Amino acid sequence: MTESQATMTAEPVHAADHVDHYDPLGAKIGMWLFLFTEVLLFGAMFIAFAVYLRQYRIEFMGGSRELDRYLGLLNTAVLLTSSLTMAFAVAAMARGQTRRAIGALAATLLFGAVFLVVKAREWGYKFSHGIYPQSETMLDRPVGEQVFYGLYFAMTGLHALHVIIGMAIIVSAAALILRRRIRPDRHIYLENTGLYWHLVDIIWIFLFPLFYLIG
């Protein structure tokens, strides 16, 4: 009697261990809540930009003219195209086209790498001219330009960090696809990877004109 009761109660507990906890809607809502914190993180920096643009209009325009707007334009095109290949990856996975999804992820990684190389060259060019926070050259310049470059390095640097993190997540998603942990019928991990990548793209969409095109 007690033995069979024990078996009966033990049985459902054991079965519960194997319950499928896959919850794409919950996972997606969780991802969006995280993305909102990212929006407010960058949002606060955009407010700082707006306040100082109003205060140091002339210096901000001068700083903006010193940036290479054609490299900025190139990187915008590169990142927008990477968002296209990311969207392809998710759509291909949903259709069960695993190889195409992997190929699209590889293309996204390539574009992400191109973006970082261009960004690094821009920063390197500025560094070689002594333009970096607290450098002697910088400290001799008007306060407004110091603020402009401070925001430029902080915001594009934080954005580039997000690109690097996004690329790491894409690599992990590709590995999970190869190990069949992400499958056409359960690919929320890949979808959330896409959401992250697209958000990083949106942030750049605002960074580009504000830093490069106000001169």
Partner 1 sequence: MDSNTSGHADPYGVYVATWGALMALTALTFGIALLDLKHVTVLAALLIAAVKGSLVLFYFMHVRHERPLFLYMFLAVGITYAVFIGLTFVDYWSR
Contact residues: partner 1, CB under 8 A: 23-25, 27-29, 32-33, 36, 39-40, 43-44, 47, 50-51, 53-54, 69, 73, 76-77, 80-81, 83-84, 86-88, 90-91, 93-95, 184-185, 187-188, 191, 194-195, 198-199, 201-202, 205-206, 208-210, 212-215
In the chain, alpha helices (H): 2-16, 24-55, 57-66, 69-94, 98-128, 136-139, 143-178, 188-212
Q: Which is nearer to partner 1, 13 or 54 (CB)?
A: 54
**For residues 145 and 201, which CB has a smaller minimum distance to partner 1 in the complex?**
201
The contacts of residue 160 (CB under 8 Å, 6+ apart) are: 116, 119
We find the least distance from the C-beta atom of residue 135 to partner 1, in angstroms, to be 28
Q: Can you name the residues that pair with 186 across neighbouring β-strands?
A: 183
Minimal distance, residue 209 CB to partner 1, in Å = 3
| Residue 21, φ and ψ in degrees, nearest 5 | -90, 10
CB of 159 to partner 1, least distance (A): 14
Give me the half-sphere count of Cα atoms (radius 13 Å) on the Cβ side of residue 56: 18
Rounded to whole angstroms, the Cα distance separating 176 from 98 reads 11
Looking at beta carbons only, is 141 or 198 nearer to partner 1?
198
Q: At its nearest, how many Å lie between partner 1 and the CB of residue 73?
A: 6
> Residue 149 or 197: which CB sits closer to partner 1?
197
User: Shortest distance, CB of residue 40 to partner 1, whole angstroms?
Assistant: 7
- With the C-alpha atoms ordered 138, 141, 142, 144, is the resulting torsion angle positive or negative? negative
